[in-house]
Structure 1
Amino acid sequence: MERRNETNLSDIGRTATSVAEVVSSGLCIGCGLCEAVTVGRVPMHLTGYGALRPSIVNKFTRQEEDRILAACPGIIAESRLENAPHTDLVWGSYFSMNYGWAGDPERRFASSSGGVLTALGCHLLETKKADLILHVGPDPDMPMRSRWRMSRTPKEVQRNAGSRYGPVAPLAGLENALQLEKPFAIIAKPCDLGAVHRLSKIDDRIDRVCVARLTLVCGGQSRLGKSIERLNEFGVLESELALFRYRGFGNPGRIRVETRDGRAFEITYAEFWKEEGDIETRCKFCPDALGEASDIAATDVWPGANPTDEDAGFNGVICRTQAGKELLDGAVAGDDLVLGDSITPRQFDSFQPHQVHKKHALLARLQGLAHAKTPMIETVGLRLDKLAEALDADRRQEETSATMQRALAGRFSEPLPT
């Protein structure tokens, strides 16, 4: 697969050469690609530190491992380069940027933010443009945890609406969806869709039957410990849970826990995130949290990235491709989606300042990994070299040095599954 190297790997570093090295270096995000490529022979499992990882890392065939490494988010991140009319250094290529929300008031209220991704999934099924939606939702047996779902009706999509904070492997269901040879859409994190984009270059089924790739602008995937801490504060055991709702029923909505014996607990979004939590290492080096491999990306639009109160529910909607534009136009025409005023890239900067900070710092961080002689992530089409110019020399050196020292101290390393 041809690559255009923009992070100067040949000069400063290298990528991992095996799935085992992706995991041991801390760059695995637990997307589920390994499970999909091996058709379930290597399932994902939850580690003792609350992350999803492939259950075995040294039993792939050569063909399987080559296929995984060609698309693995711990190896490479690549944008989808379409002839979009607008391009921004931070936010990438796009057709339009708008406020948006679900046309159905109940759908809007129950979903995260404005319910845009839920509304688009429902619209695709209602109009028969897709036979199923591959996305994620609560595990029915362990509702604090999340798992991939294949929804075939709008009611099923709605039942799995809402953000899920914690590890989840949506791509573990990708092969199941592809084998059906029916049109489907996927709603997943930006890193997951980056893997889908890369895999599409060696698996023509993806472009043939995946009719829409939808994502959220992602602040990072927390490990399960964040949720366990909250349960401990409530004095609830995971085995007692009947419901663990992270977002929704308002914007941002309250985190709600219910037990099988009828107890209920709620905390605010701000209380849940009063401390950042244990974010995956790979998220700290994510080259594309803004969904540049998607057709449409939806994001929160709180000034300064912090909600001050509950509201009716709004998303920022970034349309990145012609397919995305056609989907938005159809959803608006069918009253499934409402698009409001335009949003400029600089307004998005104010909604997501942490994303802008990371974008500018990322090349320096990756160089820190390279200097420590640990694997880094290759990027294609994501402009990291240009973004890095916003950092002054002292700040660039600080980011690189701090990353290198953490890497040399083993702060990013993980034990391999046994």
Structure 2
Amino acid sequence: MDAQQPTSIRDVVENGLCIGCGLCEALAPDRWVMRMNSEGRLRPAPLGSEEPDADASVLAACPGVIAEAEPRGHKSDPIWGSYMHMHEAWAGEANIRFRAATGGVLTALGAHLLKSGRAQFILHCAADPDHPMRTRWVMSETAQDVASRAGSRYGPSDTLAGLEVALARGERFAIIAKPCDAGAVRARAKYDPRLDELLVVVLVMVCGGASDLGKSQAVLDELGVKEDDLTLFRYRGHGNPGPTRIETKDGRSFEKTYQEMWADEAGWRIQTRCKLCPDAIGEAADVAAADIWPDANPEGDDEGFNGVITRTPEGQALVEAAIAAGDLVKGADHSPRDYDHFQPHQVRKKRALAARLRGLTHAGRPVYAHTGLRLDELDTHDPEEEAGAEQRARSGRFDDKVPSL
């Protein structure tokens, strides 16, 4: 059976291929707006009648329809793809290193771009000040803005909903986002020359998957806290990895260690598109920053260290400039095999993807097209992966819902 791609935005959402990046709202704001659905996932809601033909520009760059990376590094690895260099690093400013999720590399690079004048603003995401458990897209214009918004957001985020607003400013900018967002931006650049003119770099984290809002709500339920009572919901940071910290309007505070928050993988509530992600390692970005704990398990808090994978000459030049300016501190060099050890789950997923996609095809489900990501070359032809994906698709576990207004 030949694989079929989704043919409409509804097709993407209902088959579990949407990650809620927000691109549809950016490109078609008269037809789509991002809303939380009943499953706690940010998804596009139709503003009127749905017209797949009118959404062709969205579908041409949607991560649920197309996933690709153009190798631009001088080195390559079957698992980790094209790259310039791999090494350890951390923010030169102690406050950024402490506040950020790990070593503060992405925050430090964003701050460096603004201080050096290479970019006028950064499009990224941050906690919604009115609803701290939730995330919204923001544009930071100063290094202080970027630093104040440091830290991972594990729930739904629609950073690309701000893409058209960013482009309309006509100023040079950078993006800090998820790997799937980077892929969407690169695909969109084929049709919008403003991106080549204005977008300086795309920076991403190596991603373990985005939870739906139910993961965060489960924490509140356990603590007996209502979302409306929150003044803070910080997932990580203030140490590496730092605790999840919750504060309320009446002065209560709660903390969970990283291990308490994430030890039970069954409760992560990772979105379906993440389980099928062909590029969680940021191959479409200029720079990818990673956690580098042995076997992906922190052994307690430390000062914070990131792994850095520079993917392009532009990314390498940025990192070198930030090091020269003291905004970033370089540590030991790494190899792809080091990253196998730091992120073994990424290796397993990369090898399993071809079988999972075949399982969806056998179940009659659409799948995204993919190029430059070596899924076929890495195919282990694992019958259990294939059968498992088919069974989950047929049982409806991959189904999702388009929200209503």
Give the TM-score normalised by the residue count of structure 1. Answer: 0.94
Q: Which residue of 2 aligns with 1:3?
A: none
Partners of 1:241 and 1:257 within 8 A in 2: yes
| 1:260 Cα deviation after fit | 1.0
| Contact 1:184 1:209 (8 Å CA) reproduced | yes
Residue 340 of structure 1 and its aligned partner are, at CA, apart by 1.0
Give the match's secondary structure for 2:232: strand
Q: Which residue of 2 aligns with 1:108?
A: 97
The alpha carbon displacement at 1:398 in A equals: 1.2
Match of 2:129 in 1: 140
Alpha-carbon distance in 1 for matches of 2:318, 2:49: 41
- 1:165 CA displacement: 0.8
Report Cα offsets for 1:222-269 as digits up to 9, x if no partner: 000111111111111111101011011000001100111111111101
Q: Does 1:361 align with 2:361?
A: no
Secondary structure at the counterpart of residue 130 of structure 1: coil
For residues 184-263 of structure 1, the aligned pairs below 5 Å read 184-263=173-252
Amino acid in the other structure paired with 1:407: A
Following the alignment from structure 1 to structure 2, what is the Cα–Cα distance between the partners of residues 62 and 305?
Answer: 41
Shift of 1:49: 1.0
Counterpart code for 1:411: R
Q: Secondary structure at the match of 2:132?
A: coil
2:314 corresponds to 1:323: yes
Task: Give the structure 1 partner of residue 285 of structure 2.
Answer: 294
Correspondence 1:88 to 2:77: yes
In structure 2, the CA distance between the partners of 1:57 and 1:95, relative to structure 1 (3 Å rule), is farther
1: CA distance, partners of 2:301 / 2:336:
24
Contact between 1:39 and 1:175, CA under 8 Å: does it hold in 2?
no
Distance 1:275 1:222 in 2: 13
Q: How many residues align?
A: 402
Describe how 1:17-28 pairs up with structure 2 within 5 A: 17-28=7-18
Letter in 1 for 2:186: H
Spell out structure 1 runs of 4+ moving beyond 3 A. Answer: 57-64
SS of the residue 1:387 aligns to: coil
The SS at the match of 1:317 is strand
Cα separation, 1, equivalents of 2:262 and 2:30: 34
In the alignment, structure 1 residue 409 sits paired with structure 2 residue 395: yes
Q: Which residue of 1 aligns with 2:6?
A: 16
Instruction: Decide which of 19, 42, 65 is 2:32's aligned counterpart.
Output: 42
Where does residue 164 of structure 1 map in the other structure? 153
Secondary structure at 2:340 match in 1: helix
CA contact (8 A) 1:12 1:370 kept: yes
Distance 2:177 2:49 in 1: 27
1:32–1:170 Cα contact (<8 Å) kept: yes
Secondary structure at 2:247 match in 1: strand
Aligned partner of 1:125 in structure 2 is 114
> 1:248, 1:135 → 2: CA distance?
17
Identity, in percent, stands at 53
Q: Which of residues 370, 375, 382 in structure 2 aligns to 1:379? A: 370
Once residues 241 and 195 of structure 1 are traced to their aligned partners in structure 2, the CA distance between those partners, rounded to angstroms, is 33
Residue 174 of structure 2 aligns to a residue whose secondary structure is: strand
Contact 1:34 1:42 in 2 (8 A): yes
How far apart are 1:61 and its partner, in Å?
5.1
How far apart, in 2, do the equivalents of 1:197 and 1:75 lie?
A: 14
* Equivalent residue letter for 2:403: P
Distance 2:30 2:299 in 1: 44
Letter in 2 for 1:400: E
Contact 2:31 2:48 in 1 (8 A): no
Structure 1: unaligned runs, 5 residues or longer: 1-10
Stretches of structure 2 lacking an aligned partner (at least 5 in a row): none
Q: Which of residues 272, 275, 296 in structure 1 aligns to 2:261?
A: 272
Please state if 1:345 is matched with 2:336. Answer: yes
| Aligned residues of 1:73 and 1:191 also touching (Cα < 8 A) | yes
Q: 1:136·1:148 contact (CA, 8 Å) conserved in 2?
A: yes
Q: Which amino acid aligns with 1:16?
A: P
Partners of 2:25 and 2:164 in 1: CA distance:
9
Q: How far apart in 1 are the matches of 2:15 and 2:399?
A: 5
3-state SS of paired residue (2:259): helix
Q: 1:5: which partner in 2?
A: none
The C-alpha deviation readout for 1:149-202, integer Å capped at 9, x for no partner, is: 100011111111000010010000000000001000000000011000000000
TM-score calculated relative to the size of structure 2 = 0.97
- Corresponding residue number in structure 2 for 1:303: 294
Amino acid at match of 1:97: M
Q: What is the rounded CA distance, in whole Å, between the counterparts of 1:76 and 1:208 in structure 2?
A: 23
